[in-house]
Amino acid sequence: MQNLSEIEVEGLSRLRIEDIYRISGLYPSLYFESDDDFNIKINEGIKKLWEIERFSNIQIYDIDNSSSSNKSKSIKIKLKELPVYGSISFYGNKKISTKQLIDIVNIQKGEILSDRIIFDLKNRIMEKYYEKHFHNIDVKSELVESNIEYIKNIDIFINEGKKIRVKELKIIGN
């Protein structure tokens, strides 16, 4: 039987080390039967950390314990926390007001900004423009630093293009 003697955690800004222990199920003095059992527990810990959707990167390293006995292992958990939403600004929108766009994106202060959230936000904007027959729209986003380390503001750049209308419809061979 072996135990997990030490866990180093890097990259936390909002969560505490104890939160990582609780969420992952990995904590100092955790016992495991074999190297396979150790690997299973590490994989389960990684999976649990991904499930909470608060990180953009999770890496766990087995730290070499050549000077210590074979009965213990040490690991390092490297995390990159996702930023939190602060505010949003729109540039280039002429056909839809900023107030309407804020209602369309429907994002709340303090919400965690994952790539999926930003992708969905851009798609909702594009869908609204499609409804108004602007099919050549281009929407780009940029995360901007704020005065608090983990809070990011979003700048949305909209190129509306031209409205598309069907002038003539010909049916040939009917």
pLDDT in tens, 90-123: 999 999 999 999 999 999 988 999 999 999 999 9
* Whole-angstrom distance, CA of residue 105 vs CA of residue 125: 7
What is residue 64's predicted lDDT score, i.e. its pLDDT?
A: 67
* Whole-angstrom distance, CA of residue 151 vs CA of residue 143: 10
What is residue 161's predicted lDDT score, i.e. its pLDDT?
A: 87
User: Is residue 132 within 8 Å of 95, Cβ to Cβ?
Assistant: yes
Helix (H, G, I), strand (E, B) or coil at 131: helix
